[in-house]
């Protein structure tokens, strides 16, 4: 016996590779979507202090004041003044509650193809319909593509920059143009900005800069290497945030209290040297693989989306598994299976071995 909604869902393609890695003796794992560096000491210390001080109970559903104030102060420095902010159980908690607050069986939700694997499942959980926007081969959403994708039932655009799995980071002009078109089309935007600090060629531009009515989701998971601590935040119109808080009250309840305290300290922790290390890793991947695979130079996040030149992608993925190197097939992110995702969130030695082996297998 199961609910009908379960028939719409299937196990994440990425999680399947986690399970596969566990069965391998010594895999080169370039499938992981989490930062590889240790948690910065000030953030660790703040978590330990909160635990030692007994801050282990429930917080208010919307989050502790110190973290909300820190988030608002950080946003203010970026020129953003949202009506409301809440603490979420990671970015996933923010994405789920925003989707459930806004989408229903009478609307369509726009997703770029490819996009983060979870998005489609969230739309299905909300009993909404998915409309995909094909962004191949440059993986960039444009006003024209947005206009062509809409129908009378299209209500929501789920936008992501910097993007997983493609590494696209939209420029100021691109965001402005997409926001203008979305407003003209009457779309409510949910903007996933979990990789906001991982921009390598220009400063991150928030969708909220041009559309204050957007619901924006950010998290500490990637930026400070605390994916398992489940702390994020969302900001936007008060009415929508209030509804998200109500939904959180009956689902996640709240983000873990001691890790909220640590996240408040994270805002004062400089990670510019870590971002520079990831910029170098980005160049390692692009320079090492561009002659064997088709790929655009990643501008943000920590992924490259690659297409084999000399072999079909399904056969290439099979070769990778046989040689115990893990990458994620493009089918996990959309309708096509022409590409694969490489994560460069690993140490340089492992990354170099992985690049060399991928080039060998793809030649």
The per-residue pLDDT for range 31-69, each reduced to its tens digit, is 988 888 889 999 999 999 999 999 999 999 999 999 999
Boundary (domain end) residue, out of 216, 246, 266: 266
The answer on 317 and 168 residing in a single domain is no
Q: Which range marks the domain in which residue 9 is found?
A: 4-39+271-362
- List the one residue out of 238, 237, 207, 204 whose CA is nearest residue 222: 204
For residue 138, the domain's CATH number is 3.40.640.10
- List the one residue out of 313, 283, 308 whose CA is nearest residue 360: 308
The answer on 303 and 197 residing in a single domain is no
Q: Provide the CB-side half-sphere exposure for 280 (13 A, CA).
A: 12
Any domain includes 49: no
The answer on 105 and 9 residing in a single domain is no
Below-70 pLDDT ranges, the chain:
9, 11-23
Any domain includes 68: yes
What's the CA gap between 204 and 215, in Å, rounded? 17
For residue 311, the domain's CATH number is 3.90.1150.10
pLDDT for the residue numbered 229: 87
Boundary (domain end) residue, out of 238, 266, 294: 266
Q: Model's pTM, two decimal places?
A: 0.93
Any domain includes 127: yes
* Total count of domains within the chain: 2
Boundary (domain end) residue, out of 245, 266, 287: 266
The answer on 188 and 68 residing in a single domain is yes
């Amino acid at each position: 016996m199961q609910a009908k909604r379960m028939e719409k869902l299937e196990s994440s393609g990425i999680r399947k590779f986690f399970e596969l890695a566990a069965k391998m003796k010594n895999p080169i794992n370039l499938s992981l979507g989490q930062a590889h560096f240790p948690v910065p000491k000030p953030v660790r210390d703040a978590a330990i202090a909160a635990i030692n001080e007994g801050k282990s109970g429930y917080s208010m559903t919307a989050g502790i004041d110190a973290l909300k104030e820190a988030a608002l102060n950080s946003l203010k420095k970026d020129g953003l003044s949202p009506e409301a902010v809440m603490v979420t159980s990671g970015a996933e908690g923010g994405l789920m509650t925003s989707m459930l607050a806004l989408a229903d069986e009478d609307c369509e939700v726009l997703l770029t193809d490819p996009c983060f694997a979870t998005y489609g499942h969230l739309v299905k959980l909300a009993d909404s319909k998915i409309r995909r926007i094909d962004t191949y081969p440059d993986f960039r959403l444009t006003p024209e593509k947005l206009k062509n994708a809409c129908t009378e039932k299209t209500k929501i655009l789920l936008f992501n920059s910097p993007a997983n799995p493609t590494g696209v980071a939209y420029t100021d002009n691109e965001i402005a143009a997409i926001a203008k078109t979305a407003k003209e089309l009457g779309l409510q935007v949910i903007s996933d900005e979990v990789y906001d600090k991982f921009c390598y060629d220009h400063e991150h531009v928030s969708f909220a800069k041009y559309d204050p009515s957007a619901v924006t989701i950010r998290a500490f998971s990637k930026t400070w290497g605390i994916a398992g601590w489940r702390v994020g935040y969302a900001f936007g119109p008060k009415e929508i945030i209030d509804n998200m808080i109500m939904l959180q009250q009956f689902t996640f309840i709240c983000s873990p209290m001691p890790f909220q305290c640590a996240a408040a300290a994270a805002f004062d922790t400089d990670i510019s040297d870590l971002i520079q290390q990831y910029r170098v890793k980005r160049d390692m991947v692009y320079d090492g693989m561009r002659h064997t695979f088709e790929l655009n130079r990643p501008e943000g996040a920590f992924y490259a989306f690659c297409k084999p030149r000399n072999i079909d992608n399904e056969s290439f993925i099979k070769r990778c598994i046989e040689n115990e190197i893990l990458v994620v097939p493009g089918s996990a992110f959309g309708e096509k299976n022409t590409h694969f995702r490489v994560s460069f969130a690993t140490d340089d030695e492992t990354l170099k071995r992985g690049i060399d082996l991928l080039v060998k297998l793809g030649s």
